[in-house]
Amino acid sequence: MLTNPHPPVAFSFAVRIAGTSGRVDGGFSEVSGLGVEREVAEVAEGGENRFVHKLPGRVKHENLVLKRGMVTRSSSLFKWCDTILSAPLSRRIDTRNIQVSLLNERGRPLMVWTASRAWPVKWDVATFDAKASEVAIETMEFAYENLARDAASGV
């Protein structure tokens, strides 16, 4: 039996990135890319025209996208991203685990997603527009090896 029949809200979440510290690196306004997809290989059988066999293929992960108000002071997350994105291809990539927690009304984790061995693949700043009254947003995109989802106690 469900203790809480209502689905959780999507606006209460926390992000932790291994190797970064401070509040400046954890305050994100949006997270996307928590997804997994299995490719499907279609095989047509000779002489069988009613259907195509569908076989399981590789598992693909979306890139994890984090958005936040642009940070104007020193940030260990930005330094890591900048180091990886500006490094030559001969340099080893420093990967880190990124953890996204969906929080309950008390601010405790309900669900936790861990993107293992993540590394930055893109960083950009949203368009500056003198006619809009919006916060300057920076977007960081990460490729990762595996995504694990675990239920937390939430109490």
Strands 137-143 and 53-61: unpaired
Q: Sign of the C-alpha dihedral, residues 53, 59, 60, 65?
A: positive
Q: Which amino acid is at 134?
A: E
CA diameter of the chain: 66
pLDDT in tens, the chain (155 residues): 456 667 777 788 889 888 776 666 668 889 999 999 999 999 998 887 888 999 999 999 999 999 998 887 778 888 899 999 998 888 999 999 999 999 888 888 889 999 999 999 999 999 888 998 888 899 999 999 999 999 875 44
Predicted TM-score (pTM) of the model is: 0.81
Residue 46 exposed, middle or buried by CB count within 10 Å (0-12, 13-18, 19+): exposed
Cα separation, 64 vs 19, in Å, equals: 17
